[in-house]
Structure 1
């Protein structure tokens, strides 16, 4: 991996950690701004670098550095919200994959990728939350109550952030491309 790629991956891993601490505490799953960083990683880094940024973030947290919104350490995998972190990695990859082969992505492309990324995040987080609450924490929650927890905890806001971030992502993409900061399409395929 080239130095530029390492810096970008590290920067987005660090930004994800920062996003974890900009939060609104809610029961069971707090609302954080990490999702914005995941959207931007997918938009700006390409699939592999976006995935690596989230995997580095997760690895650092599981190694014990308190970068997650409620600390760190290997035991964090038993937290009900850990499914979101797995979903972040999947979403970053899928979004990057959707956008990386487009020569000139449009605003609609960025918004669509963000919404697909959101589906990836919730597609992992909701079953994980259900499993964690019912089997590890023995709270006996129905699937419909899990959906109520998720949607009362910010899913509607996440949809709004997906759309708003699509606008920002396009502007950042153009600025980064003009400055030569973004990896080229050839670089993205080789990474």
Structure 2
């Protein structure tokens, strides 16, 4: 295995682990707790790019579904029945979208591009997560809940903070992006 592949796999594993850690830094709210996982998703997409960002979140999800208690309420295959599982699926696609947008920014993407990418990722996460909460509560958990209640608890209660986090993370993720890309270039040159 080449050094660049080892470096890439290491970053994917680190971001999967950071996402797991972020699950336990939380503020309990009804139905959907607020966690710092979304910041890690922003960073994964921003720093690792679309492919590795997606991979880091898929590794996190697969480790949790395999039974390790890395999700906010444990782990295991039955976690797909939890109302918040849709947000986890949104993390994977959100990280991909963030990375994709930044990759289209040329060799030196602007701060604005990082912020806009994170905001787009936030939209993707909520577009998958909030409807999943509604479906889980009303269909397989047999907890009839109105769409307006789900809108308040699964969207309004946390989206404002997540938008601020998307903007702040976008501003400092750009610097980390350039540091890690310089490191990767050094690794690649050392293998020649």
Which stretch of structure 1 is more off in the superposition, 173-182 or 69-78?
173-182
Instruction: Please give the per-residue CA displacement for 1:72-91, whole angstroms capped at 9, x wherever unaligned.
Output: 00110000000000000000
Q: How many residues align?
A: 184
Residue 138 of structure 2 aligns with which residue?
134
Post-superposition offset of 1:32 = 0.3
Q: Is the 8 A contact 1:30 1:153 kept in 2?
A: no
- Residues 91-106 of structure 1 correspond to what in structure 2 (within 5 A)? 91-101=94-104, 102-106=106-110
| Distance in 2 between residues matched to 1:182 and 1:114, nearest whole Å | 27
- Cα-Cα RMSD: 1.8
Match of 1:66, SS state, is: coil
Q: Taking structure 1 as reference, are residues 6 and 156 closer, same or farther at Cα in structure 2, changes over 3 Å only?
A: same
In structure 2, relative to structure 1, the CA distance for the partners of 1:13 and 1:140 (3 Å cut) is same
Q: Which one of 83, 88, 95 corresponds to residue 85 of structure 1?
A: 88
For residue 46 of structure 1, give the secondary structure of its aligned residue in structure 2: helix
- SS of 1:68's equivalent in the other structure is coil
Which is greater in Rg?
2
Determine if contact 1:45/1:183 at 8 Å carries over to the other structure.
no
Structure 1 residue 164 and structure 2 residue 168: aligned?
Answer: yes
Counterpart residue number, 1:108: 112
Deviations 1:75-110 (A, max 9, x none): 100000000000000001111111123210111000
Residue 178 of structure 1 and its aligned partner are, at CA, apart by 3.5
Aligned partners of 1:146, 1:174: CA distance in 2, in Å?
39
Specify the alignment match of 1:188 in structure 2: none
Q: Report the CA distance shift for 1:145/1:5 in structure 2 as closer, same or farther (over 3 A).
A: same
Shift of 1:174: 2.5
Consecutive unaligned residues in structure 2, runs of 5 or more: none
